[in-house]
Each structure stands twice: as structure tokens, then as C-alpha cells.
């Protein structure tokens, strides 16, 4: 079976294996199982339960949800314990709460994760359907190796409020019910310079979304800028704010990122710490 290869521009290789999809990343000379980078997608079972309950059919915002992550707490939840973690509560009943929870290190409310908590123990963090899947990368804690998602960050806080530790979470994209996998690839460039990776998508997979992300923070007292390039074409350029993070993301088309061709994604910075990512939502036949 044909593999997909992701290679950074340096010589050393890092291999990511996702089911039958293989990506190769350079820089660390180590094997990576995909933990923290790749996610099998599965529909949350509590959605069917919500629709079966009286009064829940019109309240559960399935049509508004895009990428999501969920878990079930080991015991029923006292909703009063989780109320303080919300910045805004949109809906609160005796059975569940829906609202937004801030992500540490980001001032903008647009980065908040929407969180659904049910007394039965089901907890789900999600972004809206209009948000690209790549938005989930938490750049503020990215160390150049391990990808942490904003769902990891926020759901850890929610789990602590419930009185438990965060168990294994499951991911799902409500926009693409046939998708089987999500892959995240990240690159960092600190201060001034450029770094890149290459990606080759196999043509025997079905791709529902290709999305890009560019984030940065400034190096004090200097001009600061970060740029995202695909095959030497600028996708986005941004000025990095002092004392805060700027996050931008968008979609790439099949024309921009067709299968069976190597593509170079490059992050360039000027007196800033810049971070660039790629997300693929796809079906493995």
C-alpha cells in the first residue's frame, strides 16, 4: 500500500505511523507512534442518548459543531462544580451545561473552547463548524516536538473541576461523519530564520479537510513578523503582538495541496517565535 511521507527539510528522519498511513518527519531520529499527533475519529455515543431524551433534541447543538474531543467521567457530575471554569454559559439545565472555557495564555475569547458537560459524566470540548480543525493546536505550549491540543488543555481543567484526572479522549469531526482520522503536523521557528517540512498525500485516501495554522509571539524591542509559505507561495503573513499570541488559520484546496506530489511548507520569522501547522481530516479506505 502506498505510504504518505512528511519530511522536514533537514536530513534526519522522524517516522509517524497512523494505521496504514506513514508520515516521515526529520529532525529527531526517533520513532513516533503518532501519540499526540494523530487521532482516530469516532462518533460520541452520548449524541444518540441526547436525541432520545425529552427536551434534548433541539438543545444539543450538533449542527454547530466542528472538530471535537470527548470523554466520560467515572462518576456522575455535579454541575455546580464545573460552573466556575466557564467564561460564558450559553445553556444551563438540570442535566447539562454548554458554554465557553478560556484557554490559558490566550487573551482573545475567539480561542475559547466550547464545552458540553452532562450529569451522566459525558464531557465534550469543541470548536464551531466554521473553524478549521487545525485551530485545536495549542501553540502556547508547543515545545517543538509534542503537539498538545487546546482540548487537552481545557478538558484537563474541566476534569479537575469534576474531581478526576483527564482520561483518554476520543476525537470526532461532526462535519465529516465518514472521516476516520485526523493528523496534525507542526513546525517551529524561533527568533529570525526559516524552517520547513515536506508533505506528500497518498491518492488512495479521501481528504475532507486540509487546513493551515500560523501563530507567533514577538521578541521584545524588535520588528516582528511571521509568514507561512506553501511551495514558495505566501499563504499568510502576520505581525506578532507584544505580550500575546496571534493565531491565524484557514483552508487549503485540493488544487493547492494535491495528492502524490511533494509540497514544501515553510515558516519564516523576523524577530519573532513563529509556529506553523497542517491538519488533515481524511478517510482511510
Domain co-membership, 106 together with 138: yes
In a domain, 144, yes or no: yes
Q: Could you give the CA distance from residue 91 to residue 61 in angstroms, rounded to a whole number?
A: 11
Q: In what order do the strands lie in the sheet with 122-128?
A: 88-92, 96-101, 113-118, 122-128, 65-72, 170-173
> Whole domain around residue 249: which residue ranges?
5-35+178-283
CATH number at residue 58: 3.30.310
Domain boundary at 173, 199, 219, which?
Answer: 173
- Please state the pTM of the whole predicted model: 0.85
Number of domains in the chain: 2
**Phi and psi angles of residue 100, each rounded to the nearest 5 degrees, phi first:** -115, 140
What pLDDT sits at residue 46? 85
Q: Could you give the CA distance from residue 126 to residue 165 in angstroms, rounded to a whole number?
A: 19
In a domain, 263, yes or no: yes
Domain co-membership, 104 together with 219: no
DSSP reduced 3-state for 57: coil
DSSP reduced 3-state for 240: coil
Q: Could you give the CA distance from residue 103 to residue 136 in angstroms, rounded to a whole number?
A: 11
- Burial class from Cβ neighbours inside 10 Å (0-12, 13-18, 19+) for residue 232 reads exposed
In a domain, 40, yes or no: no
In a domain, 41, yes or no: no
- Residue 18 predicted with pLDDT over 60: no
- To the nearest 10°, report the CA torsion of 167, 172, 174, 179: -170
Which one is predicted more confidently, 221 or 17? 221
What pLDDT sits at residue 54? 44
Domain co-membership, 139 together with 58: yes
What pLDDT sits at residue 230? 98
Set of cell numbers at residue 281: 481530516
- Residue 103 predicted with pLDDT over 90: yes
How confident is the prediction for the chain on average, in pLDDT? 85
Domain co-membership, 168 together with 230: no
What pLDDT sits at residue 25? 32
Domain co-membership, 185 together with 257: yes
If you average pLDDT over residues 241-251, what whole number do you get?
A: 86
Amino acid at each position: 500500500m502506498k505510504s504518505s511521507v512528511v519530511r522536514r527539510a533537514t536530513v534526519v528522519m522522524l517516522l509517524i505511523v497512523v494505521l496504514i498511513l506513514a508520515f516521515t518527519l526529520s529532525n529527531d531520529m526517533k520513532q513516533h507512534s503518532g501519540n499526540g499527533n494523530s487521532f482516530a475519529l469516532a462518533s460520541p455515543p452520548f449524541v444518540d442518548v441526547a436525541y432520545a431524551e425529552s427536551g434534548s433534541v433541539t438543545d444539543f447543538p450538533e449542527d454547530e459543531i466542528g472538530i471535537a474531543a470527548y470523554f466520560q467521567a467515572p462518576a456522575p457530575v455535579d454541575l455546580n462544580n464545573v460552573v466556575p471554569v466557564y467564561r460564558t454559559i450559553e445553556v444551563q439545565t438540570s442535566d447539562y451545561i454548554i458554554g465557553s472555557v478560556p484557554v490559558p495564555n490566550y487573551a482573545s475569547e475567539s480561542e475559547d473552547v466550547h464545552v458540553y458537560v452532562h450529569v451522566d459524566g459525558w464531557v465534550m470540548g469543541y470548536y464551531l463548524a466554521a473553524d478549521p480543525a487545525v485551530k485545536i493546536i495549542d501553540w502556547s505550549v508547543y515545545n517543538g516536538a509534542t503537539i498538545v491540543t487546546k482540548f487537552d488543555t481545557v478538558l484537563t481543567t474541566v476534569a479537575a473541576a469534576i474531581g478526576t484526572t483527564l482520561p483518554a479522549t476520543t476525537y470526532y469531526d461532526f462535519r465529516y461523519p465518514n472521516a476516520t482520522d485526523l493528523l496534525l503536523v507542526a513546525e517551529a521557528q524561533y527568533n529570525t530564520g526559516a524552517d520547513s517540512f515536506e508533505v506528500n498525500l497518498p491518492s488512495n485516501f479521501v481528504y475532507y479537510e486540509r487546513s493551515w495554522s500560523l501563530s507567533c509571539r514577538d521578541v521584545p524591542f524588535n520588528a516582528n513578523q511571521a509568514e507561512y509559505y506553501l511551495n514558495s507561495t505566501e499563504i499568510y503573513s502576520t505581525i506578532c503582538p507584544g505580550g500575546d499570541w496571534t493565531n491565524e488559520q484557514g483552508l487549503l484546496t485540493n488544487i493547492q495541496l494535491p495528492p502524490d506530489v511533494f509540497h514544501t511548507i515553510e515558516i519564516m520569522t523576523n524577530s519573532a517565535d513563529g509556529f506553523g501547522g497542517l491538519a488533515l481530516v481524511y478517510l482511510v479506505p
